[in-house]
Structure 1
Amino acid sequence: MSIFSGIWIPLVTPFANGAVDHDALRALIEGYAKAGVSGFVALGTTGEPAALEASEQDAVLATTLAAAGDLPVLAGVSGNHAASLRERIAQLNEQPLAGVLISAPYYIRPSQAGLIDHFSSLADLSQKPVVIYDIPARTGVRIELDSLLTLAAHPRVQAVKDCSGSPDTTLALILDGRLRVLAGNDSEIFTTLCMGGAGAVAASAHVCTERFVALYRALAAGRLDEGRSLWHALAPLVSAMFAEPNPGPVKAALAAQGRIENELRAPMTRASEALHLRLKQLAAA
């Protein structure tokens, strides 16, 4: 079975007094490993990589790899400067990673031909498996189905983190069978798994992690009634986790549990007090 299945945690980057809190990050990872997650994403959207200096990114990745042990780790790669991205891929080739999670170039909105070239050229350079990150809400451009199917022919492109918001695209990729489809929008985890998706990269799973793992295992085993019951119980938490910009709610929920400080870097802001209280209740349920 491909490693790109199950519940993956796109890790937050904890801060304390403005600095990266490596002890808190290490403790989170160790706890999630015990809860049965399948892997981790370091420096993904939830990890606030744009707010980290290059040295901080390297340190976060080092801590994640050390704490994850035998569990696989993906490193997020994003940006719109081609030479810098190639340099970053070369650096990551030297790390013991399970793969790289590469998003479309943000802000510049390239054509579909430009997107195919973007991913293909980076996959050519990468010595690690590539997971395509399709998240048009953040990049401003959608990777169309035909482009994804073209990229699926590349030997190192193995999976997609699917935030397209298109059930038709999700199903078409699953039916094609060449890419492992991981739900990237937490609200679509249940639907994606029921359609035959491989798993999810779920920010909401920072809390109630065992329940998300149980949801995946129930649906993977065909226990629909059990899976539906678990999903109905998780749905209010998932909704609250994205009521305000990610990762504000995730950090608020973790802070309410005493696991990290409730700190983000500008221009990100903390979750509102009302949402913080709501998350505290849901995380404790």
Structure 2
Amino acid sequence: MSDFSGIWIPLITPFADGAVDHAALRALVRRYADTGVAGLVALGTTGEPATLDAAEQDAVLATILDAAQADADATDAQRRPLPVLVGVSGNHTASMLARIEQLNPLPIAGVLIAAPYYTRPAQDGIVAHFSALADASAHPVVLYDIPQRTGVRLELDTLLTLAAHPRIQAIKDCAGSLDTTLALIRDGRLQVLAGNDLEVFSTVCAGGSGAIAASAHWRPERFVALYRALTEGKLDEGRRIFHALVPQIQFAFAEPNPAPMKALLAATGWVRNELRLPMTRASAALTERLAALGETLPR
């Protein structure tokens, strides 16, 4: 089974003149391989997968998987392979089962699956949906509870029922319910990963396993240092690191994700500041503030 502890980065998808910029994507993966992050998420919400056709999604995943493996050249010989978690979304169980079957042969750490969006099924339908996907998956399943996007939340009883499935191992917790977060941590069967970046500190302090944090695209080493300080019981150090990261986290979500993070990475030369409709670039005012942030903080 995979270990989903630590800091995971849900990768953006860089674009150049409307096409996926695979060179920039590969460079990002290689950059993050040297930072101590636990792994990467491909085709998560931050990666704009809804704007990618099936062939583009497959190509993005192939680039990430290839770049995440240890390289054979002398410079990178000591680089460890980075685990890759893959986002799978949809509201048609049969179609998602087909996608799971496509992913089964690949060397991935697991699949990240949100509740069916828009249809807002009953909780027993959610249990049946996730159970069917977990039954079909050769890899561990990470639940993604994000009701603000799907229109339906995973109730605690539903989560505890799903926790009994042998392949459902973790949860990306974006529901904003402290009661649920604490109940899952106390239950102990699911690794609880903060999905709201401002909750990284409180989740890890409460005994959670880490975070899937979009804002960690920038200064990932500091997020890793935060996680290590907290898990080593160095609360004062962890508090100082977290407080320093708060402005960055707030900027990252001041406008719809991933526009702010793309603007910040573009200001520092990592990617072009491009998104696909209906997503649009960060406003000029926020872009200016992000550029200033990029100039004042170490890369």
TM-score (norm 1): 0.99
AA aligned opposite 1:73: V
Q: For residues 188 and 169 of structure 1, what CA distance do their matches in structure 2 show?
A: 13
TM-fit CA distance, 1:116: 0.5
Q: Which letter does structure 1 place at the counterpart of 2:17?
A: N
Query: Quick one: distance in 2 between partners of 1:16 and 1:37?
Result: 26
Per the TM alignment, residue 187 of structure 1 is displaced from its structure 2 partner at its CA by: 1.2
C-alpha distance in 2 between matches for 1:57 and 1:107: 22
Determine the C-alpha separation between the residues in 1 that align with 2:170 and 2:231.
Answer: 18
Report the counterpart of residue 31 of structure 1 in structure 2. Answer: 31
Which ranges of structure 2 fall in alignment gaps of 5 or more residues? 70-80
Q: 1:32, 1:277 → 2: CA distance? A: 25
CA–CA separation in structure 1 for the residues paired with 2:53 and 2:249: 30
Alignment of 1:101-140 (within 5 A): 101-140=112-151
- Residue in 2 that maps onto 1:255: 266
- Residues 2, 110 of structure 2: 8 Å contact kept: no
SS of the residue aligned with 1:40? Answer: strand
Counterpart AA for 2:49: P
> Residue 204 of structure 2 aligns with which residue?
193
Residue 88 of structure 2: aligned partner: 77
Structure 2 counterpart of 1:47, which letter? G
- Matched to 1:14, the amino acid is P
Provide the C-alpha distance between the structure 1 equivalents of 2:293 and 2:146, rounded to a whole number of angstroms.
27
Matching residue of 2:249: 238
Structure 1 counterpart SS, 2:34: helix
Q: Distance in 2 between matches of 1:139 and 1:283?
A: 33
Can you list the C-alpha shifts for 1:224-275, whole angstroms capped at 9, x where unaligned? 0000000000001101110100011110111011100000000000000111
Tell me how many residue pairs correspond in the alignment: 285
Aligned match of 2:10:
10
CA-to-partner distance for each residue in 1:79-129, whole Å, 9 max, x for gaps? Answer: 111211010000000111110001100001011111111110100000100
Maintained 8 Å contact 1:237/1:283: no
- AA in 1 matched with 2:16: A
Q: How do residues 1-285 of structure 1 correspond to structure 2 at under 5 angstroms? A: 3-69=3-69, 70-284=81-295, 285=297
Q: Distance in 2 between matches of 1:280 and 1:167?
A: 34
Give the Å deviation of 1:2.
Answer: 5.5
- TM-score normalised to structure 2 length: 0.94
SS at match of 1:131: strand
**Deviation of 1:283 (Å):** 3.1
* Offset, 1:281: 2.2
Distance in 2 separating the partners of 1:89 and 1:63: 19
1:35 match: secondary structure? coil
Q: State the shift of 1:277 in Å.
A: 1.4
Equivalent residues of 2:2, 2:140 under 8 A apart: no
Cα contact 1:9–1:39 (8 A) shared by 2: yes
Distance 2:166 2:97 in 1: 18
Separation (CA, whole Å) in 1 of partners of 2:291 and 2:126: 41
Return the letter of the residue paired with 2:82.
L
Per-residue Cα deviation, 1:191-236 (whole angstroms, up to 9, x for no partner):
1011011000000000011111100010011100000000000001
Q: How many Å separate the matches in 1 of 2:40 and 2:239?
A: 25
Counterpart CA distance in 2 for 1:112 and 1:239 is: 33
2:68/2:83 contact within 8 Å kept? yes
Identity fraction in percent: 70
Q: How far 1:280 sits from its partner (Å)? A: 1.9
CA distance in structure 2 between the partners assigned to 1:57 and 1:247 by the alignment: 17
3-state SS of paired residue (2:239):
helix
- SS at 2:281's partner residue? coil
Distance 1:30 1:202 in 2: 18
Whether the 8 Å contact between 1:11 and 1:41 is mirrored in structure 2 is: yes
Once superposed, which parts of structure 1, at least 4 consecutive aligned residues long, lie more than 3 Å away?
Answer: none
Unpaired segments ≥5 residues, structure 1: none
Quote the Cα distance in structure 2 between the aligned partners of 1:63 and 1:77.
Answer: 17
